[in-house]
Amino acid sequence: MNILLFFLISTVSSCFLRISPGVMSQGLGGVSITLDEGLTAFHNPASFEQAEYNFTLSRWLYTTTMFSAGASYKNNMLGINYLSYGGIQGYNEFGNPTDRFTPFSISLVLARKIGLFGVSVKGFNEKIDSYTYYGAGVGLSSYIEFEKVSLAAKVDNIGWEFTSNTAIPLIIASGAKFSLPENIDIYLESKSPLWELNIGIQYRYENSSFLFGIQYLKPDDLIDGAEIDFDISDLNLSGGVIIQVENYEIGYSLMWTKLSRAHQFCVKLTP
């Protein structure tokens, strides 16, 4: 059996469901549930505002590439996400090369906004060498908008991976958006049970939006009962820019982590 294969199955399987695609989301430090950038099927169906179509390409950590597409129309949303980890050379227990393989994950999300609430249903498939995994899950969300403040909450990935008979990574998120004078918006968001904090600032000037963000990810507790102190290297910094040209928006964002640099490019159409 391939040693690297054991590692991939234990660390990669279903973890991609935690990823929040989108230039705006990444540029704002991973904020998602108070956004509407055409990917609301993934972020928060309850935050839907207008018909949009979004195409996003992401690249980070060696040859890892992700393509995301979203469509929103009349309170109905569709999202497709494809993640490829690139070609990987396998090795056996003696250190001898075996076959190369390309792990990938793909998911499909259908969602709908119902009043102040949103509901989503997703199905996904992963393939790691000769191993194939299937699963499904649902999500529930809400979004309330006041004059200068918006509040949102979401419970996502309530579901199961059928092949290994395990629960998929649950996400419980809450967040707020504050609209300030001078075209400035501030975003705050937290996620659990894997503790994550997201802070983002958006500044709009004429036909451009400038994004700045900080993401804090609490390291996994690999030893039961161990105390993990805060370390500055656990902070991920991000930024981005979105330019609007008539009905189109073209965007780029970068997230800087201690392991890699994540780049995202997008084109969004508002009919």
Chain segment 20-62, per-residue pLDDT in tens = 899 999 999 999 999 999 999 999 999 999 999 999 999 986 6
Q: Which of 9-18, 100-109, 213-222 has the lowest mean pLDDT?
A: 9-18
pLDDT-derived band at 112 (thresholds 50, 70, 90) equals very high
Tell me what the pLDDT averaged over the chain comes to. Answer: 88
pLDDT at 13: 56
pLDDT at 122: 97
CB 120 within 8 A of CB 129: no
Q: Where are the domains of the chain?
A: 3-269
Rounded Cα distance between 173 and 157, Å, is: 11
Assign domain 3-269 to its CATH architecture: Beta Barrel (2.40)
Query: Which segments within 85-183 are labelled E, that is strand?
Result: 88-91, 97-101, 104-114, 117-128, 131-145, 149-161, 166-167, 171-180
190: Cβ contacts below 8 Å, ≥ 6 apart: 173, 174, 175, 196, 197, 198
Q: What is the pLDDT of residues 188-219, one digit of tens each?
A: 999 998 889 999 999 999 999 999 999 998 77
CB 254 within 8 A of CB 50: no
Rounded Cα distance between 223 and 208, Å, is: 46
CB 93 within 8 A of CB 3: yes
pLDDT at 128: 79
